Amino acid sequence: MKTLTSQEKANTAKALLARIRELYTPGEHLRFMEVCGTHTVAIFREGIRQVLPPEIELVSGPGCPVCVTDQIYMDKALAYAKQEDVIIATFGDMLKVPGTEHSLAEAQAAGAHIHVIYSPLEILELGKQNPDKKIIFLAIGFETTIAAIAGTVKAVHLSSVRNIFFLVSHKLVPPALRVLLEQKEGQIDGFILPGHVSVIIGEEPYRYLADAYKIPACITGFEGVEILSGIVNLLEQRKTNHYQIGNQYTSVVMKTGNPVALQLIDEIYEVCDDTWRGMGVLPKSGLRLKAPYDQYDVEKVYPLTTPLPVEKPTGCQCGRVLQGLIRPDECPLFGKVCTTNHPVGACMVSVEGSCAAWYKYGRASGGLAWK
């Protein structure tokens, strides 16, 4: 597949930045929020903040599935991990997330069986090779990963493997955006919408942003020039007062998303209310396995009998960071008590967490401390 050469990328970026300067009203402070951890990282990696006019602020929202998974989920996972006959299968992202007492990585060091996978389908082989163990897969993620895990649940159902279970904590993006716009604090002038979530759900679930809230939104890819062109689109919408769901990622995002994936998700799961770390319960923002697939829901089949640890207040402000109300470096723990080596909250642990990204790409400056 053809891509732009480095020189072409550099020149296109210049052109897009010129366009941004044309469209933008000097002195106006604008906050565009991205809600996708991969965008959080891409923005840092490409050094986008340095090339934008300083009054256009890019803010990270609750786009990191690890970060928005609440502490109770981690404590449940750890409680299962401690059981003798359990193998926990998980994406690498979850390894270092702290529960109330410790993380999966620490549990592993203490003898728990934790298995990192790249694809959830690997759990089928794991199940076959360990017939006397329960394989419990930590099923987290937004819609892109939900589609993959739905496919996995189906594959498990169609197989003869019967020792595989799922601990589910999926989150849906569109309901969260509404909650963010309804909050009294904070200013959001536009959304950079997640490229790969949109591959699954298409443009329609975001329609209310344009119709009800008159706020510009644009689906973009993850390269520097793609993100810049998304910002151009947001500014164009503001200038023309014509609000729509922009799509700058048409090579893989179709208007109707992926109907096969959506149908499968609908077959495997039902929507429910869910708790987002730091944001409380968001209505109709989560999923649970529905019959007959609830036979793989580990909480239904093997409910935990020991009480979970009581949540200790740590001073962690992940919730406010996730809602874009404060920058990571505005949290009193940032860089002092809470670092990537010693994370207090999930935003610092996850590679895509705002705090971790801010810390990794330039400590307290979000990468801006370069003269």
Among the listed residues 121, 181, 272, 337, the single contact to other proteins using CB under 8 A: 121
251 part of the interface to other proteins, by CB under 8 A: yes
127 binds other proteins (CB under 8 A): no
Among 161, 179, 254, 308, binds other proteins (CB under 8 A): 254
The CB-of-310 to other proteins minimum distance in angstroms stands at: 28
- Alpha-carbon span 84 to 1, nearest angstrom: 48
* Least distance CB 343 / other proteins (angstroms): 10
Which of 216, 230, 246, 367 is the binder for other proteins (CB under 8 A)?
A: 367
What is the DSSP-derived secondary structure letter of residue 363? G
DSSP letters along 35-101, please? Answer: --HHHHHHHHHTTHHHHS-TTEEEEE-S--HHHHS-HHHHHHHHHHHTSTTEEEEEEGGGTT-B-SS
Stretch that binds other proteins, among 20-28, 299-307, 310-318, 344-352 (CB under 8 A): 344-352
Stretch of 293-301, 302-310, 317-325, 363-371 contacting other proteins, by CB under 8 A: 363-371
Q: Name the residue nearer to other proteins (CB basis): 239 or 300.
A: 239
Listing from the earlier edge strand, what are the strands of the sheet with 164-170?
A: 113-117, 86-91, 134-141, 164-170
Which residues in 226-243 are b (16+ Cβ under 10 Å) and which e? bbbbbbbbbbebbeeeeb
Indicate whether 48 belongs to the interface with other proteins (CB under 8 A).
yes
For strands 190-193 and 164-170, give the pairing. Answer: unpaired
Of residues 241 and 255, the one with the C-beta less far from other proteins: 255
Inter-CA distances, 52 with 46, 57, 274, Å: 12, 8, 36
Task: Identify the residue among 174, 175, 190, 194 touching other proteins (CB under 8 A).
Answer: 194
**Nearer Cβ to other proteins (248/275):** 248
Count of CB atoms within 10 A of residue 14's CB?
12
**Two structure tokens written together for 49:** 């903040």
279 binds other proteins (CB under 8 A): no
* Residues in 152-191 at the binding interface with other proteins, rule: CB under 8 A: 154-155
For 206, phi then psi, to 5°, come to: -95, -5
Reading the block at residue 311, the tokens are: 């949540």
Nearest distance, CB of residue 335 and other proteins, angstroms:
12
Q: State the nearest-atom distance from the C-beta of 135 to other proteins, in Å.
A: 16
Q: Does 148 bind other proteins (CB under 8 A)?
A: yes
Q: Which of residues 210-249 bind other proteins (CB under 8 A)?
A: 224-225, 228-229, 248
The least CB distance from residue 303 to other proteins, in Å, is 27
Smallest separation, CB 97 to other proteins (Å): 12
- Candidate segments 25-33, 111-119, 236-244, 328-336, binder of other proteins by CB under 8 A: 111-119
CB of 340 to other proteins, least distance (A): 5
> Is residue 274 within 8 Å of 285, Cβ to Cβ?
yes
Amino acid at site 25: T
> Which residue from 348, 263, 33, 287 is spatially nearest to 141, judged by alpha carbons?
287
Site for other proteins in 57-76 (CB under 8 A): 63-66
Interface with other proteins in residues 288-317 (CB under 8 A): none
- Say if residues 293 and 301 touch (Cβ distance below 8 Å): no
Closer residue to other proteins (CB): 281 or 368: 368
Applying CB under 8 A, among 20, 56, 88, 147 the residue interacting with other proteins is 147
Q: Which residues contact 365 (CB under 8 A, 6 or more apart)?
A: 329
Size of the site for other proteins (CB under 8 A): 85
Beta bridge partners of 137: 89, 166
Judged by CB under 8 A, the residue of 57, 102, 115, 117 near other proteins is 117
**Positions 10 through 39 that interact with other proteins (CB under 8 A):** 10-16, 18-19, 36-38
Q: State how far Cα 55 lies from the chain centre.
A: 26
132 sits near other proteins (criterion: CB under 8 A): no
